[in-house]
Amino acid sequence: MAFQPDLVVPPIIIAMLILMVLGINSLILESSVDNRLANDMQTRAALAVDLVQEEVRGLEQLLEEPDSTLRFFTFTGDSVVISQRDKNLKIIRKDRISEVPDTVYYDLDLKKVRFASYPDTVMYDYADFIKVNARTQSNPDHHARFNNTEQLMSAVAEKKLFLRHKAARSHKESN
């Protein structure tokens, strides 16, 4: 029996094409999952900063210099504590009348949240600002990996918040 290349070559070519198509599909799937995950991590970091911004909107008096925990009184007299618990953003609001704490956890895959308070006297003589920095990081379970590499996606959001109630009070006291 003689070797017949016209019978052997077509199945080999078809097998190579199938392997190539499957390899490209796995790369496309991995790439799209990574893009979605990067977008999710950035959205969660921005959401953490926006949540802090909403809570700080009524800030009147800082209770201590912030670092990883932000404690303050609002202009309505409520006590608010914002911190990180595991991978969650934890917000505790205590009403000044009932003293019953209302605790809310936001699952944001946080790696780190930091606060910094400082006066910005270049722009205003009486202004106070809080800088919020939120960093998120994915879990290895979130990824679609076909080549057994372990990668993590992380994202950062940062915002400088003007404390208008505190600045207004400082401005009144200076006049």
What DSSP line would sit under 18-51, residue for residue?
A: HHHHHHHHHHHHHHHHHHHHHHHHHHHHHHHHHH
Residues 55, 92 contacting (CB under 8 angstroms):
no
Q: How far is CA 10 from CA 17, 24, 50, 84, 136, in A?
A: 11, 21, 59, 61, 50
64-119 confidence digits (pLDDT tens) = 777 899 999 988 889 999 999 999 999 999 998 888 899 999 999 999 999 988 77
Q: Which residue has the tokens 């999952």?
A: 33
Segment 37-64 shows an average pLDDT of 91
Mean pLDDT of the chain: 83
- Domain enclosing residue 164, as ranges: 5-174
Over residues 117-130, the pLDDT tens digits come to 877 555 555 557 88
- Report yes or no on whether pTM surpasses 0.75: yes
The pLDDT assigned to 52 comes to 95
Per-residue pLDDT band for 27 (boundaries 50, 70, 90) equals confident
**What total of structural domains would you count in the chain?**
1
More confident residue, 53 or 117: 53
What would the two tokens of residue 76 be? 């309505």
Give the end-to-end CA distance of the chain in Å, rounded to a whole number: 107
How far is it, in rounded angstroms, from Cα 35 to Cα 143? 10
Provide, rounded to the nearest whole percent, the portion of the chain with pLDDT above 90.
Answer: 39
Buried b (16+ CB within 10 A) or exposed e, 143-164: beeeeeeeeebebebebebebb
Which residue did the predictor score with more confidence, 143 or 64? Answer: 64
Residue with tokens 């910005």: 120
Residue of 167 and 59 predicted with greater confidence: 59
At residue 122, the pLDDT reads 55
Highest mean pLDDT out of 18-32, 39-53, 63-77, 105-119: 39-53
Beta strands in the chain (DSSP E): 59-62, 70-74, 79-85, 88-94, 101-107, 110-119, 128-137, 154-162
Assign 21 a pLDDT band (cuts: 50, 70, 90): confident
**Cβ atoms within 10 Å of 70's Cβ, excluding its own:** 26
Number of C-alpha atoms within 13 angstroms, CB side, residue 142? 18
